[in-house]
Amino acid sequence: MNQKKVKAHQHRRDSGRDDLAGENPLGDTLQIIFFLVFMAIWIMDSFVFKHSTFLADRIAWYIRCPAGVIILLFAYLLAQSGLKVVFGESRETPHVITYGAFSLVRHPIYLGAILVYLGMILMTLSLFSAALWVLIIGFYWYISRYEELLLVDIYGDEYRDYKKKVPMLFPLKLSK
């Protein structure tokens, strides 16, 4: 992919940053839509209708809530670490980022977002929210794959080697 095509995939916030590869053009919009839909379902199911929260009666709140908060804190730290490296540092020579959170997973910011949803689900055990979460994971997998095509076009074998060493979204060898 040439530089003109890569530039077309960069957002306005990334303009002037040749060290950023770009992202899916619908990524931000769809992330917002998924978040709003998730919040509506989670709130309505967890606190109003309670159609799919029957498991919450079996596991005490003092176990669910601290577990959810711990996951939320970990998600924040992971995403913040990734954001700081990507947007907080300017690299004079563009290269594949392989340190910090990027040594654990190739997309720590997306993993952080996935864990935010998980933390909220654990607090109330809304099965409707959990079903939507599965779709959200699929969405993050899809935009991650899209961005990786851009990164392979830019960095070639350097990114291919990184892909072989570091998992995509989960620190287990479940995804490539």
Q: What is the pLDDT of residues 48-106, one digit of tens each?
A: 999 999 999 999 999 999 999 999 999 999 999 999 999 887 778 888 999 999 999 99
Q: Indicate whether 20 belongs to any domain.
A: no
Measuring CA to CA, how many Å separate 19 from each of 10, 14, 22, 53, 126? 11, 9, 9, 45, 41
For 91, phi then psi, to 5°, come to -100, 120
pLDDT level of residue 8 (50, 70, 90 thresholds): very low
Measuring CA to CA, how many Å separate 32 from each of 37, 124, 136, 140? 9, 22, 11, 12
pLDDT, tens only, 128-163: 999 999 999 999 999 999 999 999 999 999 999 999
Average pLDDT over residues 113-121: 98
Q: Indicate whether 19 belongs to any domain.
A: no
Q: Indicate whether 7 belongs to any domain.
A: no
pLDDT at 2 over 60: no
CA distance 116 to 97: 23
Higher pLDDT, 121 or 11: 121
Measuring CA to CA, how many Å separate 133 from each of 9, 48, 115, 121, 166? 26, 19, 10, 9, 23
Residue range of the domain that includes 56: 27-165
Q: Please tell me the total count of domains within the chain.
A: 1
pLDDT level of residue 173 (50, 70, 90 thresholds): low
Cβ(102)–Cβ(82) below 8 Å: yes
Q: Indicate whether 16 belongs to any domain.
A: no
Cβ(168)–Cβ(175) below 8 Å: yes
pLDDT at 6 over 60: no
Cβ(151)–Cβ(97) below 8 Å: no
Question: Tell me, what's the pLDDT at 153?
Answer: 95
Q: Indicate whether 12 belongs to any domain.
A: no
User: Nearest to residue 27, comparing CAs of 40, 10, 42?
Assistant: 10
Average pLDDT over residues 7-36: 75
Question: Tell me, what's the pLDDT at 1?
Answer: 45
Q: Indicate whether 159 belongs to any domain.
A: yes
pLDDT level of residue 12 (50, 70, 90 thresholds): very low
CB atoms within 10 A of CB 67: 15
Those residues with Cβ within 8 angstroms of residue 133's Cβ, 6 or more apart along the chain or in another chain: 38, 114, 117, 118, 121
CA distance 158 to 60: 48
Q: Indicate whether 171 belongs to any domain.
A: no
Q: Indicate whether 18 belongs to any domain.
A: no
pLDDT at 35 over 50: yes
